[in-house]
Amino acid sequence: MRKMRPGKGARGTILTRLIKSSDGIPYPNEDPKHRSNVVLQKKAKINGKGVLFFQFDGRIDGDELYYASPHWLKVIEEGNINDLFGTGSQQEPQQEEQQQPNQKGNKKKKKKPFKEAKTKWNHSLAKRLLYNDVYNGVVPQDAKDEDGKSTMHLEDIFQMHDEYKKYDRTKFSARLGDIRKEIKGLISRRNEDYEAPKEYIANVPVSYCNWKGFIQWQGSESQERVLQDIESGIFQKKG
């Protein structure tokens, strides 16, 4: 069954003995079992207590307004669903019925965490594939270019190898960032290793003596004579 909505213009029955006029004075000598037909108009707060009451027309064809608590009201005909008096939403009635009877059913089911492959990410084939792609430039080593735009969509990278799908998609961005950072650090240290000897050679003169004070072979007169003998072929004659 569809649940009746206490919207504006809805018709209902109410205990007549609880009807109050706009000044809050109840009408005396009313039959406790009597019911009156009413048409809902709006919600109202009366007597300065901040308590919500329904304001309604006590006669179908009349224009006199009364107040009553919604507890004593039974809606028998729907009103405008866009102007509700109650706390319900504008969802379909069937959905409301499913939610209200079973409070336990209203609890949102927690999503189960993604179950990754048994092999940990740090020792996985997926990480090696991603590492090689970043190192070889298949995947850009920088996430953004000079203009701040993405160099390659994360989803496109994730779809490159089926091995990636064995691991949590929500962690892929952080893992890619760690690999990029690691490779950049290795490249930076490699460049420093290349530049350090060049800088040393440029700033430190060549020494022709070892730490004991003996003349070194490199650059010595003996080395020069041997080179001359090799060039003349004399070592082939004398053995």
- Greatest mean pLDDT range, 73-77, 82-86, 171-175, 198-202: 171-175
Whether the predicted pLDDT of 82 surpasses 80: no
Mean pLDDT of 210-218: 81
In sequence order, the β-bridge partners of residue 40 are: 56
In terms of Cα–Cα distance, which of 160, 175, 173 is closest to 124? 175
pLDDT at 88 over 50: no
* Cα separation, 18 vs 166, whole angstroms: 67
> Which range (40-54, 143-157, 200-214) has the least confidence?
40-54
Report residue 91's pLDDT band, with 50, 70 and 90 as the boundaries.
very low
Mean pLDDT of 164-176: 94
pLDDT (0 to 100) of residue 5 = 73
- Determine phi and psi for 134, rounding to 5 degrees: -70, -45
Are 57 and 37 within 8 A, CB to CB? no
CA-to-CA distance for 130 and 121, rounded, in angstroms?
A: 11
pLDDT range class, residue 16, cuts 50, 70, 90: low
